[in-house]
Amino acid sequence: MSNRGAARRSDRYGAPTVRRLALAPGLLAAIVLIAGFALIEGSGFIIIRYAVAILALIIGYFAFQAKQWWWLPPMLAIAVVWNPVFPFGFTGIYWYGAQYLGILVFILAAILIKVRLTEAEKPGRAR
């Protein structure tokens, strides 16, 4: 078996060569959406809407920084659909489907949005 894939993700000494900017907010947003299943029909769902919309915008900004423009439309769509100021009138099965789709998008964005480190940013390098 070849170990080329691992070599691209880390340098010779095992230090990472990429930074995953959207990992923490992406996984946090997925957790918030999972928790939101219990609150979909309740008044507490407004908190889920705020958290998801804000985290989607944060991840969109990280995607912009990483020059991965294709993540901007899904993040902006999530921010609009979960917008608490001008809410959509979804009910029942539509919100459940949107929640599942949002979880999938956030997890994929968390894993795939990354930035290559420059030589000066790599850990253990003299500055």
Which pLDDT tens digit goes with each residue over 88-124? 777 778 889 999 999 999 999 999 998 877 666 666 6
Structure tokens at 104: 């999938």
Angle at 13 between CA 7 and CA 15, to 5 degrees: 75
Please list the residues that pair with 88 across neighbouring strands: none
Lowest mean pLDDT among 14-28, 35-49, 85-99, 110-124: 110-124
The CA–CA distances, whole Å, from 121 to 24, 35, 65, 107, 115 equal 20, 36, 16, 26, 11
pTM equals: 0.80
Distance CA 74, CA 82 (A): 12
